């Protein structure tokens, strides 16, 4: 099994299902239009379950997240030689997944006039734009993700790839409890990869890709992951 393939396919599936549920809710004339935040959080939780399951089955580690990979490399003895492979696979898979979502929902993108809604399919934007507190929210969300995942990992080793289920439930909890301020990116690849796809895709009447905000869903998750992994080494 190939770690690059595992992380690429896992992240691609994560984004297809995750960005896909957002498209279903926010784009015009879909079956799920205006279904609301609960549907989005459930969809993202299932996206994580499928992505982690696929990644671990194909030779990856189920990280699907550069912040997790970086933290595991620095504080949890993850093979540093694999760091570029994993990060490249995660960003590549995220971009590919976002392009597939665009193709699946192309008529609905065309039928939607709201440029912010079109961007929201691909990446996050804060409900209240305040860089300092948006950063805090992303740090806290990713801290909960990484510390929660690390504490879950050993007790569930016997479940094999069903380790994906506790992590999916953790993502559901983060989305419901901490997703309101920024949309809980908690993953640089999940936000920046699709944001790049939004920039390059021929989306009808699209807005800019909000590059001024784009650094927060990268720096915040990496910071939160590093803090969580370090604290875990002290426990």
What is the predicted pLDDT for the residue at 157? 47
User: What proportion of the chain, given as a percentage, has pLDDT over 90?
Assistant: 92
User: What proportion of the chain, given as a percentage, has pLDDT over 70?
Assistant: 96
What is the predicted pLDDT for the residue at 162? 58
How far apart CA 163 and CA 165 sit, in angstroms, is 5
- Which pair of tokens denotes residue 32? 């799920």
Instruction: For the chain, give every domain's residue range.
Output: 3-234
**Residue 164's pLDDT band (boundaries 50, 70, 90)?**
confident
DSSP letters for 25-59: HHSTT-TTTT--HHHHHHHHHHHHHHHHHHHHHTT
> Average pLDDT, whole number, for the chain?
95
- Which pair of tokens denotes residue 34? 């205006």
pTM of this prediction exceeds 0.85: yes
Q: Give residue-wise pLDDT tens across range 175-213.
A: 999 999 999 999 999 999 999 999 999 999 999 999 999
- Which pair of tokens denotes residue 13? 């599936």
Q: Give residue-wise pLDDT tens across range 121-132.
A: 999 999 999 999
Decide yes or no: CATH 3.40.47.10 for domain 3-234.
Answer: no
């Amino acid at each position: 099994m190939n770690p690059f393939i595992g992380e690429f396919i896992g992240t691609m599936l994560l984004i297809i299902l995750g960005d896909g549920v957002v498209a279903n809710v926010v784009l015009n004339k879909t079956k799920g239009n205006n279904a609301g935040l609960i549907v989005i959080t459930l969809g993202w939780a299932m996206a994580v379950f499928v992505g982690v399951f696929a990644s671990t089955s194909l030779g990856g580690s189920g990280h699907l997240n550069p912040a997790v990979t970086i933290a595991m490399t620095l504080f949890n003895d993850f093979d540093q030689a694999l760091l570029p492979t994993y990060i490249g696979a995660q960003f590549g898979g995220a971009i590919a997944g976002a392009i597939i979502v665009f193709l699946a929902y192309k008529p609905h993108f065309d039928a939607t006039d709201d440029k912010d809604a079109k961007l929201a399919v691909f990446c996050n934007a804060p409900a209240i734009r305040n860089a300092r507190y948006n950063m805090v929210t992303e740090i806290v969300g990713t801290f909960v993700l990484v510390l929660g995942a690390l504490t879950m990992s050993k007790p569930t080793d016997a479940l094999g790839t069903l380790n994906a289920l506790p992590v999916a439930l953790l993502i559901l909890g983060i989305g419901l409890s901490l997703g309101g301020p920024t949309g809980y990116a908690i993953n640089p690849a999940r936000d920046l990869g699709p944001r790049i796809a939004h920039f390059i895709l021929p989306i009808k009447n699209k807005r800019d890709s909000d590059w001024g905000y784009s650094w927060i869903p990268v720096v915040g998750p990496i910071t939160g992951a590093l803090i969580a992994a370090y604290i875990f080494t002290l426990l």
